[in-house]
Amino acid sequence: MIKKAHDAYNKKDFKSAFELYTELAKSGNADAMASLGYMYQNAQGCESDEAKTLELYERAAELKQPYALYNLGVLYMNGLGGVVHDQFKAHELFVEAATREVVPAMYESALMLERGLGCLQNYSEAAFWYEEGAKRGHLESFNNLGVLYKEGHGVVVDEAKCFICFKRAADGGLAEGLYNLGLLYDQGFGCAQDHDFALDLCRKAAYKGHAKAQEIIRGLQEEGKIVF
């Protein structure tokens, strides 16, 4: 029945999905609890209900349901949904979700390890989780791993790997990846120096809303060095 519930949800038949998930959750199905919690959180097929969202996520997380662990971590990270802001609890939940193949949790675990949020700062562990996310195609993980390879934090400086990471992020359309790849071409770091291509990448990042890229393009326009 869980497949039937997922199919209904994916077809945006929220009424049917809600009914099916509710029935399954009552029988102790952790996947249904996690999905039902998400529906209560986002008012899909029901009224928004923070208390029910939290209750369902907590019940599913006790059963180690991967996405319940991740979603509960998001609540603790942001102090939302009736829980107090607790970075330590968030990090614990993210890592547990990451070990269960939740890709966004891999990224969040790495980000917190890189910054020392809710845990001891550990660049090498951050690099590990960014790499795990990148292996699964996560663009932000590629970008942030590229930064570590450029700066030598937790890994040995590696121009080639840095270039590959930024290129994968840029090829995926990530604004930060486009900007960072542009910097590499501007500096000739891990690639042949090419100022024109660097500018083109900067334009693309600016078009996608990257603040620093927009500032650079605006400054060049004001100086009369470029016209668009």
So what's the pLDDT on residue 207? 96
pLDDT at 222 over 90: no
Quote the CA–CA distance of 180 and 183 in Å, as a whole number. 5
Mean pLDDT score, 85-96: 98
How much is the mean pLDDT over the chain? 96
So what's the pLDDT on residue 53? 98
pLDDT class of 227 with cuts at 50, 70, 90:
low
So what's the pLDDT on residue 27? 96
pLDDT at 38 over 80: yes
So what's the pLDDT on residue 228? 62
So what's the pLDDT on residue 73? 98
pLDDT at 75 over 60: yes
Mean pLDDT score, 124-129: 98
pLDDT at 31 over 60: yes
So what's the pLDDT on residue 35? 98
pLDDT class of 111 with cuts at 50, 70, 90:
very high
pLDDT class of 221 with cuts at 50, 70, 90:
confident
The pair phi, psi for residue 194, each rounded to 5°, is -150, 95
Mean pLDDT score, 107-115: 98
pLDDT class of 225 with cuts at 50, 70, 90:
confident
Other C-beta atoms closer than 10 Å to the C-beta of 183 total: 17
Query: Tens digits of per-residue pLDDT, 154-184?
Result: 999 999 999 999 999 999 999 999 999 999 9
Ramachandran area for residue 118 (φ above 0: left; ψ -120 to 50: alpha; else beta) = left
pLDDT at 129 over 80: yes
Q: Which two tokens stand for residue 67?
A: 């996405």
